[in-house]
């Protein structure tokens, strides 16, 4: 072999990037790809897997075809000519063995680089298992195992410390029921609801998921975490869910509940819509139609006051005045919603300016005073009672500015992942894929290389 040939083979070995073997020659396969002929380059491959003795007695040669990553945009087929050795240790029960390297262990038909790439494109790249298998020429079960191995490596075993977490539920698929042959009763074996626990302020994604929308599921997951981690959690952001609040008080008695501001405004909008529909039926005996005053301004009622132009605000007042008493009551409901939003506007800003307690008290008083002046409207009374029932959580939001937006964003990614996969039949796999899809950014920061 000439010096030029050695140089070409060395360069081809580096380009192939398969540690433990050396390329002897490369040929075109006639189909746009290449065939790389390799031999073992590690002396440790001669060590017996059972006793570790280095063999000196050759038995024969075998050629295998482990699958590897493409190189330079071309598919590469590997022909590995590896030796079979006799074990020279008399006390060893193994008579012979075939060479193996770390990248291609015994009885493995894929290289370690290919398996890692298959797991990475699903876990970090956002591809489905099916698409990753098509791109890399692997079957679904192999890619799934690669995903599980890769996720075990990159995902932390325990959630990282977080001062604030968010809890929210998401629904995918249908519940699974099974009849108990002993009692002949149908029992729930797989709930459609999944509760997610996310980092509310650090952006580190989903910490975990559990099935079942009940207090026990939430409390059990929180209680199962290490005590140091639970002590670092100072705030828990939730929507207006009494079940979550009860579980938090049970598992994290030292943490403060934060009510998400979006759900407070959503609650006010829902009560305003109920008031509008009730008074519309009371006046017309039917739903609103085109030409009715309330039909003209029905969308303006859902808008924020600061987003309305002078013309739109005038139109809202004029059209509701044409309805008479019922219109004035609807306008009062809209003002109640805006007064509640004025309270929420006092929340701590991005400059970390904590609102004055007196300003919060004054805004809260204006809201309740307005409700008291219209106590004959049941929708407004229920709204005020709910606000008072959750005031501790609302006040914590005002002083911290913490929201549950991270949970809502993660739920969107979880649903998108399920749509891309055309649904999941295995719920354990669903939770793994959901966690991978929602924590990619944090893993890139933790593993930049």
Check residue 337 and give its pLDDT.
95
Give the DSSP letter string of 378-431.
HHHHHHHHHHHHTHHHHHHHHHH---SHHHHHHHHHHHHHHHHTT--S-HHHHH
User: Where are the domains positioned within the chain?
Assistant: 3-109, 164-260+404-446, 261-400
- pTM of the entire structure? 0.80
| pLDDT value of position 228 | 92
- Of 15, 133, 16, 31, the C-alpha closest to 79 is 16
Identify the three-state secondary structure at position 335.
helix
Task: Please give the Cα distance from 53 to 405 (Å, whole number).
Answer: 60
Annotate 24-69 with DSSP letters as a single string.
EEEEE-SSS-EEEEEEE--GGGGB-TTT-PBP-EEEEEEEE--B--
What distance in Å separates the CA atoms of residue 180 and residue 160, rounded to the nearest whole number?
40
pLDDT at 441: 56
Three-class secondary structure of residue 277 per DSSP: helix
| Distance (Å, whole) CA 429 – CA 407 | 20
Are 76 and 23 within 8 A, CB to CB? Answer: no
Instruction: Please answer whether residues 433 and 424 qualify as being in contact, where contact means their C-beta atoms are separated by less than 8 angstroms.
Output: yes
Neighbours of 301 (CB within 10 A): 19
DSSP string, 168-219: EEEE-S--EEEE-TTT--EEEEE-SEEEEEEETTT---EEEEEE-SSHHHHH
Q: Point out the residues of the chain with pLDDT beneath 70.
A: 1-8, 349-353, 440-449
Structure tokens at 128: 């489905």
Does the domain at 164-260+404-446 match CATH 1.10.10.10? Answer given as: no
- Please answer whether residues 170 and 430 qualify as being in contact, where contact means their C-beta atoms are separated by less than 8 angstroms: no
Distance (Å, whole) CA 179 – CA 354: 56
pLDDT value of position 301:
92
């Amino acid at each position: 072999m000439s010096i030029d040939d050695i140089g070409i083979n060395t360069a081809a070995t580096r380009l192939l990037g398969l540690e433990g073997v050396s390329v002897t020659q490369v040929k075109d396969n006639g189909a746009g790809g290449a065939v790389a002929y390799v031999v073992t380059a590690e002396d440790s491959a001669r060590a017996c897997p059972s006793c570790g003795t280095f063999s000196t007695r050759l038995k024969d040669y075998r050629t295998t075809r482990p699958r590897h990553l493409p190189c330079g945009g071309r598919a590469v087929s590997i022909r590995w000519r590896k030796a079979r050795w006799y074990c020279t240790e008399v006390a060893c029960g193994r008579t012979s063995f075939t060479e193996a390297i770390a990248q291609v262990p015994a009885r493995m038909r894929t290289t370690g680089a290919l398996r890692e790439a298959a797991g990475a494109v699903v876990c970090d790249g956002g591809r489905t298992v099916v698409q990753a298998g098509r791109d890399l020429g692997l079957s679904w079960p192999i890619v799934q195992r690669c995903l599980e191995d890769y996720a075990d490596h990159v995902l932390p075993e325990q959630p990282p410390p977080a001062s604030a977490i968010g809890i929210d539920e998401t629904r995918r698929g249908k519940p699974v029921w099974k009849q108990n042959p002993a009692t002949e009763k149908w029992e729930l074996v797989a709930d459609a609801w999944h509760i997610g626990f996310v980092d509310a302020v650090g952006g580190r994604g989903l910490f975990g998921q559990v099935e079942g929308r009940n207090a026990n599921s939430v409390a059990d997951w929180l209680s199962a975490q290490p005590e140091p981690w639970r002590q670092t959690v100072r705030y828990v952001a939730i929507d207006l869910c009494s079940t979550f609040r009860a579980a938090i008080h049970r598992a994290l008695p030292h943490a403060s509940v934060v009510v998400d501001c979006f759900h407070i405004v959503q609650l006010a909008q829902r009560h305003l819509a109920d008031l509008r529909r009730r008074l519309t039926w009371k006046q017309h005996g039917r739903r609103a139609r085109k030409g009715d005053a309330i039909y003209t301004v029905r969308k303006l009622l859902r808008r924020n006051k600061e987003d309305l132009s002078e013309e739109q605000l005038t139109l809202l007042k004029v059209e509701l005045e044409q309805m008479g008493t019922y219109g004035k009551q609807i306008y009062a409901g809209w003002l109640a919603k805006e007064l509640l939003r004025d309270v929420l506007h006092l929340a701590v800003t991005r400059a970390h300016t904590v609102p004055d307690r007196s300003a919060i008290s004054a805004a809260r008083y204006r809201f309740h005073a307005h409700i008291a002046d219209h106590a004959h409207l049941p929708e407004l009374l229920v709204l005020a009672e709910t606000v008072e029932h959750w005031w501790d959580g609302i006040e914590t939001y005002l002083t911290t500015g913490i929201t549950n937006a991270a949970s809502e964003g993660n739920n969107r990614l979880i649903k998108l992942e399920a749509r891309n996969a055309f649904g999941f039949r295995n719920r354990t796999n669903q939770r793994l894929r959901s966690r991978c899809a929602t924590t990619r950014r944090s893993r890139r920061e933790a593993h930049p290389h």
